[in-house]
Amino acid sequence: MRRFLPHLGLSYGQKLFLLATVPLLLAVAAISVLVANQSRQLADREIRALETQLIEAKKAELKNYISIARTAFVNIYGRAAPDDADAQLEVTQILSAMLYGQDGYFFVFDYDGNNLVSPRQTYLIGKNWRGLSDLNGVEITDPIIDVARNGGGYHSFDWTKPSTGETARMVTYVVGLQDWKWAVGTGIFIDDVLETVAAARAEVEARVQRTSFYILVITVAALTLVFLSGFVITVRERRLADAKLKALTQRVFDAQEEERGRVARELHDGISQLLVGVRYALDSASRRLKTGDARGMESLDKGIDHLSGAIQEVRRISRDLRPGVLDDLGLGPALKALTDDFGTRTGIKTSFNTVVFRNRLDQESKIALYRIAQEALTNIERHANATQVTIDVRGHKKGATMRIADDGQGLPQDTPIQRRSAGGLGLRNMQERVEQLDGTLRIFSSRSGTVIVAEVPLSHILKPESDGTEKTRKARA
């Protein structure tokens, strides 16, 4: 499914909806098939049991009819000889008169296949019906004679119903009069049983269809609920995303304004004053040299010193904005220069430790860790009142870790981490930089100091380069 979805050109919401609905539809389809099959199997067993019960009742009824008939002619048959034509005629008359219901009657065939009694279908009488079969090819006369020869039994076939003239299934019970070589039997139509079974099967099928319909309705309701829930969640997430995007844009603007303000302050407080001093010294030297004052060279030297200071300040600002040593030598030397400059400027005792991993961090990781260290030192200088700072950077089998620790007063404990920095941007910027690298940022703070641990995953560690290149970069971190 995950391999197939990207080729459909669907949006993220549509893919999510498919992932939520397709398994549901498959499960519902499987449940529907299972329920339908189980219902049909159970109903089929019950219907077969009902059919068997009804047919057995019909067969028992046939036996009773045969018993009544035998009672009617048993005395005649018992006293008659095998060739007593008068007795045989009397028995055929008795059986012809024994009609019951709309379609019930008794029939008689001799063992040669000649019909002797058929009161409701007299056209059969006196004719030989050996080989007779019904519309489905089921033999009629021959099996009846065979059953009679063997003492008696049942036989089923399709036969014309006297009351309607339509063909229906008939069950017969036949006994044999062995002295006369007669097959005496009666039959009963079981179309009412078959209609009852068919109605039961139709009811089962209707129940299965109703159950399938209910499952379909529930499925549609569930899909509608999933769709509406997804729609509400999508709208809510989109609103949250828009709000976060606006907040992020505002933070970017705030960061830009803060950086512009810092650069403007440094230009105004540092370079601008130095350049004013240079101009004043050069003007003073120019006036004195014109008047032959020997102090003109002294003013000129002072202006040169101020100009050198301005150049150094420009270099410092440029290094803060984008240190060239980070691109040229790597993260270790850049952090070393940053901590040395920080200690010199603030008077805070700083130490930097690193384990050489040969400049194998990718560019994004180097910039992110450098900016995190820069932001951390800025916060320490402004808020921590620390006397000692330690920075440790090392690579390991899981990636790279930078640890920054100070012995200052710690972060305010009653303020969320996202707001524990000047302007609400410091630590939040650190967190976002690390999250862009799929790394982690952990902050441990107490009244005895603060520890910031930034971890970069192994995916941002470059593969080792050739030996010749590594030897030239052995001292780079």
Give the model's pLDDT for residue 110. 95
User: Distance between CA 199 and CA 209 in Å, rounded?
Assistant: 15
Average pLDDT over residues 209-231: 83
Integer angstrom CA distances of residue 207 from 36, 201, 221, 281: 9, 10, 21, 107
Beta strand pairing call for 349-354 and 388-396: parallel
Average pLDDT over residues 155-164: 91
Residues 6+ apart with CB under 8 A from 444: 450, 451, 453
Q: In this predicted model, what pLDDT tens digit does every residue of 237-276 receive, in sequence order? A: 888 888 888 887 777 777 677 767 767 776 766 677 777 7
Q: In this predicted model, what pLDDT tens digit does every residue of 383-402 receive, in sequence order? A: 888 999 999 998 877 888 99
Share of the chain above pLDDT 70, in %: 86
Give the model's pLDDT for residue 8. 55
Torsion, CA 435, CA 437, CA 442, CA 443, rounded to 10 = -80
Residue 357 banded pLDDT, cuts 50, 70, 90 = low
Residue 5 banded pLDDT, cuts 50, 70, 90 = very low
Give the model's pLDDT for residue 452. 93
**Which SS3 state, helix, strand or coil, does residue 399 take?**
strand
User: Distance between CA 453 and CA 434 in Å, rounded?
Assistant: 11
Residue 183 banded pLDDT, cuts 50, 70, 90 = very high
The residue behind tokens 């047919």 is 55
181 φψ region: left (φ > 0), alpha (ψ -120 to 50), beta (else): left
Top-ranked range on mean pLDDT: pick from 1-15, 176-190, 199-213: 176-190
Residue 99 banded pLDDT, cuts 50, 70, 90 = very high
Give the model's pLDDT for residue 350. 93
Q: Which of 187, 224, 42 is CA-nearest to residue 107?
A: 187
Q: In this predicted model, what pLDDT tens digit does every residue of 446-470 receive, in sequence order? A: 888 899 999 988 777 766 655 444 4
Residue 356 banded pLDDT, cuts 50, 70, 90 = low
Q: Which residue type is seen at 299?
A: S
Contact 208, 91 (CB under 8 A): no
Burial class (CB in 10 A: 0-12, 13-18, 19+), 168: middle
Rg (CA), the chain: 54
| Domains of the chain by start residue, with CATH | 46-189 (3.30.450.20), 326-472 (3.30.565.10)
Give the model's pLDDT for residue 133. 94
Give the HSE-up count for residue 457: Cα atoms under 13 Å, Cβ half-sphere: 8
Contact 140, 132 (CB under 8 A): yes
Residue 418 banded pLDDT, cuts 50, 70, 90 = very low
Give the model's pLDDT for residue 365. 84
The torsion angles phi and psi of 63, rounded to 5 degrees, stand at -60, -40
User: Distance between CA 166 and CA 103 in Å, rounded?
Assistant: 12
Average pLDDT score, the chain: 82
Average pLDDT over residues 20-35: 82
Q: Which of 181, 176, 174 is CA-nearest to residue 156?
A: 174
Average pLDDT over residues 300-307: 78
The overall pTM is greater than 0.85? no
154-163, 190-199, 445-454, range with the lowest pLDDT: 190-199
18-27, 119-128, 156-165, 179-188, range with the lowest pLDDT: 18-27
pLDDT at residue 140 greater than cutoff 50:
yes
Give the model's pLDDT for residue 117. 95
Contact 124, 105 (CB under 8 A): no
Residue 115 banded pLDDT, cuts 50, 70, 90 = very high
For the residues of 321-368, what is the DSSP string, one character each? HS-HHHHHT-HHHHHHHHHHHHHHHH--EEEEEE---TT-B-HHHHHH
* Eight-state DSSP code of residue 8: G
Q: In this predicted model, what pLDDT tens digit does every residue of 31-89 receive, in sequence order? A: 888 888 888 888 888 888 887 888 888 889 999 999 999 999 999 999 999 889 999 99
Give the model's pLDDT for residue 184. 95
Q: Which residue type is seen at 96?
A: S
Give the model's pLDDT for residue 359. 54
pLDDT at residue 417 greater than cutoff 50:
no
Residue 9 banded pLDDT, cuts 50, 70, 90 = low
